[in-house]
């Protein structure tokens, strides 16, 4: 790779959650909603697209705005937000963007001749009599469209099912004709919502939102966000609209269930809703997902991890890492910005971002940035109070004898450096009150080999961490 692949994979000032990755003509394109830094709700910005060459997931290119919320005839004043979209290449070779506005329950479609050009409004998914899907009596509300095209048919997957809501029965599959709008086969439920999940195999991981479909060999993989929100799960069938069997969790954005380096029930990040999918790139499979930043649910960033699809069809759950897109550890020398932390926690645990009485009472650290939305300000970690830890994995360290950190804030104490979240300190770096980013160094030996690095603040006040450098 020409550049190292990092998580988050886009610049720290870009907030693209709900990522649907697709490979078109030698590039990976990611289509997602578009959060606003310091936004007050989800998805306030217009759709933009980023892409990367298939052989270099460290080299992402901004493709620009591909669709504005005012482009939909239902939204001329821009009063509604563009929720999570998906894109598919139709049988005519054009690219079709499917989305739902935040205050209506119909599926809108836009079209473009190229994967990341300017999409133009095309129409609404509808029945043969012209009634829009979602408008007919008895229709369930449409939400989070995911699309898969095979030949002249496009399979549209939609749905949102909150815990305890008996009016929502599960995610729906609807078959569309070659015009990409007209329904050939009416919606059917492909998995259960929580009230209807008894003896289904989905218990505890019932469908919540974010339906997405991929085909691997002869099997269809249904990727979705479960009722616990922080995890992306998958179910498998030999048919695109029926027979899906729950198989497991692909990733959690607080690393719950992972027990290889910690107790399975311990959260290592502040989780929240999750949305993404899997994609094959150059013969390898990856999961795209998102994490939460800025102490809210409304500033989310995309991440990537390599996954393994085993011969039996199963996908073992993977960890959150800093190095995911790199397909191996990062080179363990030089300076690393703190916003790359894949773990962020303190002595008082919280599963979720923005939980009432938890996050907003300022006990917890957060990844944030200076300035306003759109400012190209490099992110950092704020509010690191006593016991707050930031973890980075994985780095290939060789001959490291010095560690430097850049810190600011009303803090007096020290940062301990460790190679595991609960390990022994390899050394500490004292820090003191400063209003400007200030470098502090310590002669600390990092053992040779592939390592995780953790920086734990012990002391008074609250520190902000901009970066660390190892040499």
Q: Annotated catalytic sites, by residue?
A: 18, 209
* Measured distance CA(463)–CA(313) in Å, rounded: 46
Which of 170, 168, 169, 167 lies closest to 157, judged by CA? 170
Q: How many CB atoms lie within 10 A of CB 439?
A: 12
What is the DSSP secondary structure assignment for residue 93, as one 8-state letter? S
The answer to whether the CB of 278 falls within 8 A of the CB of 300 is: no
* Measured distance CA(286)–CA(306) in Å, rounded: 4
The answer to whether the CB of 305 falls within 8 A of the CB of 321 is: yes
362 burial via Cβ count (<10 Å: 0-12, 13-18, 19+) = exposed
Backbone region of residue 164 per phi and psi (left: phi > 0; alpha: psi in -120 to 50; beta: other values): left
Residue 98 vs residues 46, 117, 165, 416: alpha-carbon distances, Å:
14, 15, 25, 48
Residue 196 makes CB contacts below 8 A (sequence gap 6+) with: 166, 169, 170
Q: How many CB atoms lie within 10 A of CB 83?
A: 20
What is the DSSP secondary structure assignment for residue 377, as one 8-state letter? P
The answer to whether the CB of 87 falls within 8 A of the CB of 98 is: yes
The sheet that has 172-176: what strands, in order across it? Answer: 146-150, 153-158, 172-176, 183-189
């Amino acid at each position: 790779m020409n550049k190292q692949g990092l998580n988050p994979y886009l610049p720290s000032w870009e907030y693209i959650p709900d990522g649907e990755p697709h490979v078109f003509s030698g590039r990976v394109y990611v289509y997602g909603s578009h959060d606003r830094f310091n936004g007050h709700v989800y998805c306030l910005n217009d759709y933009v697209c980023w892409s990367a060459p298939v052989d270099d997931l460290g080299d992402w290119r901004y493709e620009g705005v591909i669709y504005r919320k005012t482009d939909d005839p239902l939204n001329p004043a821009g009063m509604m937000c563009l929720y999570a979209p998906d894109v598919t290449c139709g049988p005519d070779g054009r690219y079709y963007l499917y989305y739902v506005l935040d205050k209506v329950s119909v599926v809108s479609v836009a079209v473009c001749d190229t994967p990341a050009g300017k999409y133009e409004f095309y129409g609404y998914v509808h029945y043969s009599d012209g009634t829009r899907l979602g408008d007919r009596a008895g229709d369930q509300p449409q939400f989070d469209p995911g699309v898969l095209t095979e030949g002249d048919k496009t399979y549209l997957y939609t749905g949102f099912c909150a815990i305890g809501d008996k009016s929502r029965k599960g995610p729906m599959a609807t078959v569309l004709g070659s015009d990409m709008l007209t329904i050939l086969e009416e919606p059917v439920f492909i998995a259960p919502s929580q009230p209807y999940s008894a003896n289904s195999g989905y218990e505890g991981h019932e469908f919540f939102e974010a339906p997405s479909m991929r085909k691997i060999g002869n099997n269809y993989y249904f990727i979705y966000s479960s009722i616990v929100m922080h995890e992306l799960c998958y179910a498998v069938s030999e048919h695109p609209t029926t027979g899906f069997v729950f198989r497991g969790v692909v990733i959690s954005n607080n690393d719950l269930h992972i027990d290889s380096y910690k107790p399975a029930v311990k959260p290592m990040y502040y989780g929240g809703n999750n949305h993404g999918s899997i994609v094959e790139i150059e013969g390898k499979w990856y999961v795209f997902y998102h994490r939460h930043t800025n102490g809210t649910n409304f500033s989310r960033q995309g991440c990537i991890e390599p996954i393994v699809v085993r011969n039996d069809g199963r996908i073992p759950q993977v960890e959150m890492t800093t190095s995911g897109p790199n397909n191996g550890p990062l080179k363990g020398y030089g300076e690393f910005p703190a916003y790359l932390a894949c773990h962020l926690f303190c002595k008082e645990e919280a599963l979720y971002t923005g939980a009432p009485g938890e996050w907003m009472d300022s006990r917890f650290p957060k990844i944030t940035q200076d300035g306003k939305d759109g400012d190209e300000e490099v992110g950092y970690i704020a509010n690191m109070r006593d016991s707050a830890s930031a973890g980075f994995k994985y780095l290939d360290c060789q001959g490291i004898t010095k560690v430097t950190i850049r810190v600011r804030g009303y803090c007096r104490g020290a940062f301990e450096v460790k190679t595991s979240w609960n390990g022994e300190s390899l050394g500490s770096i004292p820090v003191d009150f400063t209003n400007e980013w200030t470098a502090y160094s310590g002669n600390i030996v990092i053992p040779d080999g592939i390592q995780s690095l953790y920086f734990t603040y012990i002391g008074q006040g609250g520190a902000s961490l901009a970066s660390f450098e190892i040499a």
